[in-house]
Amino acid sequence: MAVKYENAIKLPGDLSPRSKWLRDYYFEGLNRKWNNEYTAYTTGTPWDLQFDEMTYYIVPENHTFLSTFGSTFRQLAQVVPMPDGFWDKSLVERKADFLKEVMVNQVPMEIIPGDLLCGARFNVFTSMCLTEAEQKERDRLVKEARKSMKWIFQHGYGNGGATSGHLVPGYQKIVDHGFKAEYERYEAMYNELSEADKNGQHGAQLRAMMTSCTIPKELSEKFSMYCKQCADKVDDPVRKEELLKMAENTAKVPWNGATNFWEAVQSLWMTHMLVMSDENYPGPGVSFGRIDQYLYPYYKKSIEDGMSEDFMKDILGCMWFHCNSAYDGYIKVGGNQGITAGYGQLLTISGMGKDGQDMTNDLTYLILDVIDDWSPILEPKPNVRLHKGSPEKLLDKVVDMISKSQGAPFLLNFDERSMAGMLREARFYGDLINEDNVCEYAPVGCLENTMVGNDRSGTVDNNINLLKAMELVYGNGKDMEPYEDIMGGKPTKLTQDGPKTGELKDLDTWEKFFDAYKKQTEYLIKKFVDNYELSEAIRAKYNPTPYLSCLVGGCAEKGLDVTQGGAEIGFVTMEGVTFASTVDSLLAVKYLVYDKKECTLEELVQALYDNWEGHDVLQAKAKNRAPKYGRDDDEADELAREVMEFWSDETWKYETKSTHRRFRPGMLSWNYWVGGSYVMKASANGRANPQFLSNAICPSNGADINGPTSNANSVGKALGGKVDGNGDWTEYVNYLPNGASHTITFNTSLIRDPTHKEKFKSFLHGYIENGGTALQINILDPDVLREAQAHPQDYRHLLVRITGYNAYFVSIGRELQDEIIARESHMGY
Amino acid sequence: MSTEDGPGLRTTVFLKGCPLACTWCHNPESIEPRSHVEWKGVLCMGCGICAKVCPKHGITFDEDGVHTADFCEACGTCTRECPTQALELKGVNYTVDDLYATVIKDRAFWGKDGGITMSGGEATLQWEDVLAFFKKCKADGVHTALDTCGFNRRDVYEQLLPYTDIFLYDLKLFDDAEHVKYTGQSNKIIFENFEWLAGTDARIWVRTPIIPGATDTDENIKGLAGIVRDRVEKWELCSFNNLCVDKYERLGKEWDFKGKGLIAKARMEELTALAQASGSPIAFWSGATALEN
């Protein structure tokens, strides 16, 4: 029987010739004439460095190459001569001057054929602009930071480091008023400063920010001239007119406010692109925010002026192209799409307004069309905000798009639960987040909720393996086994890292065990706080980003760079990884050792040391008989909630010393739950090493045997559920202001026709009521089914549905499974 | 979460016990009214604990798997001790209140159309409890659906009618002798109840399983079309599927339709057209059909 998998893969939609050309050109990858590969620039001093390794501390795949990257870019760097007096200036001014010289005069000026937007190359590595003494001191401090970071990673604690991006810059103020307004504001503030302040840090910061404001101005003006030159050389009258219009656009924005849709998108793109240049990092969660809201007035104006929606889709299509070119950075290393798929230039559409009204508009639908037509593609990553008042038309469109894709082409964000979290963190920053403005929140990166234009909350900077606390309990504060360096092969000695919480034999009640777990969790969090301080303090002292600071409210007023805690709202997020593995392990210990007395704690821990080998029956009981989070079992979910409340309360206690940023909890976990599964020993929930750990707030793989409604109910309860009249937002509670990543896989047959799409909408309505902050939907694909055949234990929740009858996929015979796989491939119902 | 048991997203409760014994039954474990123990080979690790703990020594364990004896009373000892849950107790006792507390947790997901479906087996065998349960639902504004084979006393349906928002009513075979042959019972009561129910203002969806060699004849569909006509909201011809063959193996039973393939799509379309032409324009078909290369 021939199976045509390609039929099951979504194809791009009906793109215009221009958009189709750009999309195809992008996927030509290395064969392209043009690309956005990194170029590096130096002041020419022998000690100069471009590559900031700290921003890669959270990417363990890179740990081995940190020194290599550093020296590679140093060797590649072109010397940029700087004028006299450069070294007499403050560091932040040197940085602004250097970036300006690079972006305006060094980076090649190009326009992609058919492109409607100016600004193409932005992947640069720029000099740190440090004096010899500064660079030496920084290098010394970085060595310490690297050592600490490596230690917590190698010992299975997770990873952490001060990382770029992950915020929504104040794009709206630039689109509306231009950099000119910012420049004038800083100038006025500067003139108000005392002489002492002018000569001090505040003055230097403002001068650097004024210089930064002129970078997009001068770069755009150069583009304007370049467009005119190009127009002269073009015969096609249509293209000629486009280039002339682009020359007009760039003469105006982003220095001035935009007056129509084309200008607004040009202003947005140029402003956005330069953030990535300033930070020397492509697309690291630098997110657009509620793009359908702040671009709407320009959309309306251009519609009135007679611009067609098709042309607007092309303008947005050009932006889609450029966002994806972020991946060109390492294009020669990783083929067509570079080394990673993990950037997150997130845009947000729809959602609630100030009085609870829905904010969906015509531009929302236009953007959804562009998303649909361009997908599958990696950037920008769209996020659709849903709430109780979301219109049926929007839900229909969303469900329709989900039904056509294997993985939904966007993430769904849920306003009520998300806003509850934002109001929970509001207490730390006066009245900056309140009931009236909380609806303006937007996610960054993947799903991390922040406020917009004045908030940097370090949403990927700390990834804490909650399960490690269990290992430390088993080892009475020591690792279960000494760490061995795979590369060097040198074993180390076990050390008393965590507190002594008791010998196993002394933990003779559940209360004592749970208390020991809590004490080790306290230690774990403190360890992360201390580790983070090292890289945060270095960044604050040596790595200012004055251009980005212009787009973050608070920096100019405080005279502090965004890297120094200049943002009005500045949290550092602790992202909890392996939540369900931890909760299920606690549940298993409670069930096996204390409630059912199936074994002693020593016996259970021995089984973990043996990776469950020779303990089949105990492992089976841990897996199948012990309660699990994710089944809408109130007792299990209550422990999940307790664990959540405990670790999040502990997180709130800390603040960075160097920048005064408060720690806040979230659950993102990127791909760490996969890598971590190799580092972690077997766990009490029946998991052997190296089976995967649980992902973010999701139940453990295979644990949610009661279906998606129970799964969603459990997630909502773990986040705090609902409390009548006493929630954070209306009745909703949310312990995790950052939000929590939740993925559910559905069968394609569930949304096969209009009737079933309606049913799926009911599920989404239910999720708004009871679920978490964000949901990623996967529509089942035959490969998953094959995986389920091979590993039935991990897929016990997988429901197969054929009209009038349902069955758990793993409980039916092989031949029927094969038949269903063939059917899934055909969508042949 | 059920998408196939009535309008909207629903939560379905399967009650054990059925007065019919359709040879094609897809839920054979639900025919028997008493609880029983079921073994799922794919989950079994072969530890043999079940055989050791059975108080009646009624479990044998060999290369074919686990076998429970005929005298098994489903006491639940083995299913409690089985480390992998390969042994499962089918049929758990609930009070009406406990059951309600369990299903109502899904309420947020039901939307404006969905709710609870009572299915089986034959739910009306336990009609007093279903009635009490439905009364509780209606007092709380929950939408109720009753999936029934129609084989019960008229007064049972009369009492349930005010609390049932929709009936999912099965009509299988028009010819009474055939009906007896395949289900073990006459269709007389079923048709009489249907006539009565169709005359009330009840909302009804009729379902007919299309089983190869049994219900898939022209005569049968024509005959049923004459009964259904356009008196109900929907008439669904459900294409036979063979997903339950493993269930029969697990129960240690031979299934009459084991070797049967799925019906061709063209045949389902033909039968639907025939039903429509024979006086029931509301007929449509659903389900899986044979793969075409």
pLDDT computed for residue A215 by the predictor: 98
Largest interatomic CA distance in chain B: 61
Across the interface, do A801 and B3 touch by the CB < 8 Å criterion?
yes
| Res B79 pLDDT > 70 | yes
Give contacts of A813 with chain B, Cβ < 8 Å: 245-246, 249
Residue B26 in contact with partner chain A when CB distance is under 8 A: yes
**Spatial CB neighbours of A348, under 8 Å, sequence gap ≥ 6:** A287, A288, A289, A290, A291, A292, A382, A383, A384, A385, A413, A442, A443
For residues A816 and A748, membership in a common domain is answered with no
The verdict on a CB contact (< 8 Å) between B8 and A759 is yes
* Token reading at B255: 């299934």
**Mean pLDDT calculated for residue range A777-785:** 72
Compute the nearest-CA separation of B7 from chain A (Å): 8
The reply to whether A502 falls in a domain is yes
Average pLDDT score over chain B: 92
Tell whether the model's pLDDT for residue A631 goes beyond 70. yes
Q: What is the DSSP letter of A347?
A: E
From chain A, the residues in CB contact with B106 under 8 A are 709-710, 713, 766
Whether the CB-CB separation of A410 and A382 falls below 8 Å is answered with yes
CA distances from B196 to A32, A718, B204 (A): 74, 50, 12
When divided into structural domains, chain A yields a total of 2
Asked if residues A209 and A545 have their Cβ atoms less than 8 Å apart, the reply is no
- Asked whether residue B4 is domain-assigned, the answer is no
* Crossing angle between the packed helical segments B188-199 and B218-228, to the nearest 10 degrees: 40
Q: Could you tell me which of B144, B152, B143 has the C-alpha nearest to residue B170?
A: B152
Taking residues A655-661, report their average pLDDT: 98
Residue A823 has pLDDT above 70, yes or no: no
Sign of the four-CA dihedral A329, A330, A331, A335: negative
* Beta-carbon separation of A762 and B114 below 8 A: yes
Strands (E), A71-226: 78-79, 124-125, 158-160
Q: What's the pLDDT score for residue B262?
A: 81
- Domain check: are A612 and A650 in the same one? yes
- CATH number for B56: 3.30.70.20
Q: Do residue B101 and residue B140 come from a single domain? A: yes
| pLDDT-derived band at A811, boundaries 50, 70, 90 | low
- Span of A32-36, A482-486, A571-575 with lowest mean pLDDT: A482-486
* Residue of chain B nearest A622, judged by CA positions: B83
Residue A118 belongs to a domain: no
Per-residue model confidence (pLDDT) at position A334: 53
What does the longest C-alpha to C-alpha distance in chain A come to? Answer: 86
Q: Looking at the domain assignment, is residue A97 inside a domain?
A: no
Q: What mean pLDDT comes out for the span A521-537?
A: 98
Residues 192-211 (B) with a CB less than 8 A from some CB of A: 207, 209
Same domain, A675 and A603: yes
Asked whether residue A710 falls in the same domain as residue A810, the answer is: no
| B40, B49, B287 ranked by CB distance to A804: nearest | B287
Residues B185, B60: one domain? no
Q: Does a structural domain hold residue A747?
A: yes
Query: Which structural domain, as residue segments, surrounds residue B204?
Result: 10-31+94-286
Whether residues A734 and A808 share a domain: the answer is: no
For tokens 């042959």, what's the residue?
A: B181
Is residue B27 domain-shared with residue B169, that is, in the same domain? yes
Q: Which chain A residues have a beta carbon less than 8 Å from that of B4?
A: 801, 803-806
Tell me whether residue A214 is in a domain: no
Before A200, cis peptide (omega within 30)? no
Predicted confidence (pLDDT) at residue B49 exceeds the cutoff of 50: yes
CATH code, domain carrying A740: 3.20.70.20
Contact B2/A at CB under 8 A: yes
From chain B, the residues in CB contact with A765 under 8 A are 108-109, 111
pLDDT, mean over chain A: 91
Domain match, B52 and B119 both:
no
Same domain as B18, residue B149: yes
User: Is residue A287 in a domain?
Assistant: no
Residues B227 and B279 reside in one and the same domain: yes
Same domain flag for A764 and A828: no
pLDDT band at A409 (very low <50, low <70, confident <90, very high): confident
The CATH code of the domain that includes B178 is: 3.20.20.70
Q: Please judge whether B84 and A623 are an interchain contact, meaning their C-beta atoms are less than 8 angstroms apart.
A: yes
pLDDT of residue A806: 46
Single-letter amino acid, residue A598:
E
pLDDT in tens, A110-134: 999 999 999 999 999 999 999 999 9
Does residue A503 sit in the same domain as residue A598? yes
A661 and A606 within one domain? yes
CB contact under 8 A, A709 and B209: no
> Are B226 and B111 found together in one domain?
yes
Residue B27 lies in a domain: yes
pTM for this prediction: 0.92
Query: Is residue B209 domain-shared with residue B240, that is, in the same domain?
Result: yes
Between B213 and A462, the higher pLDDT residue? A462
B60 located within any domain = yes
With tokens 């070797």, the residue in question is B259
Looking at the structure of chain B, the number of domains it has is: 2
Inter-chain residue contact B243 with A762, CB threshold 8 Å: no
Give the model confidence (pLDDT) of B246-291 as tens digits: 777 777 777 777 777 788 889 999 999 999 999 999 999 987 777 6
Instruction: Say which DSSP state B196 is in.
Output: H
Q: Considering only CA atoms, which of A500, A676, A661, A654 is closest in space to residue A578?
A: A676
Tell me: do A640 and A694 sit in the same domain: yes
pLDDT in tens, A324-376: 999 888 777 654 444 455 688 999 999 999 999 999 999 999 999 999 999 87
Segment A237-270, tens digit of pLDDT: 999 999 999 999 999 999 999 999 999 999 999 9
List the domain range (segments joined by +) for residue A587: 462-779
| Nearest by CB: A823 against B43, B207, B288 | B288
Does one domain contain both B266 and B191?
Answer: yes
Neighbours of A356 (CB within 10 A): 13
Last residue of a domain, one of B64, B90, B116: B90
User: Is A181 a member of any domain?
Assistant: no
Same structural domain for residues A700 and A819? no
Percent of chain A with pLDDT over 70: 93
Q: Evaluate if residue B92 carries a pLDDT over 80.
A: yes
**Is A229 or A807 the better-scoring residue by pLDDT?**
A229
With a pLDDT cut of 90, the percent of chain A lying above it is 78
Residue pLDDT, tens place only, A581-621 = 999 999 999 999 999 999 999 999 999 999 999 999 999 99
Q: Quick: pLDDT tens for A441-476.
A: 999 988 999 999 999 999 999 999 999 999 999 999
Mean pLDDT of B188-217: 96
Which of the two residues, A645 and B42, has the higher pLDDT score? A645
Q: pLDDT tens digit string along A212-226?
A: 999 999 999 999 999
Q: Is residue B221 part of a domain?
A: yes
Based on the fold, state whether residues B98 and B79 are members of the same structural domain.
no
- pLDDT mean over B231-257: 81
Instruction: Kindly state whether residues B124 and B255 are assigned to the same domain.
Output: yes
Domain match, B67 and B172 both:
no
Residues A756 and A825 in one domain: no
Task: Judge whether B5 lies within some domain.
Answer: no
- Residue B45 contacts A where some CB pair is shorter than 8 Å: yes
Return the HEC string of A614-652: CCHHHHHHHHHCCCCCCCCCHHHHHHHHHHHHHHHHHHH
Whether the per-residue pLDDT at B292 is higher than 80: the answer is no
On whether both A602 and A524 belong to a single domain, the answer is: yes
Residue A467 lies in a domain: yes
Q: Is residue B292 a part of any domain in this protein?
A: no
Answer yes or no: are the C-beta atoms of A601 and A504 closer than 8 Å: yes
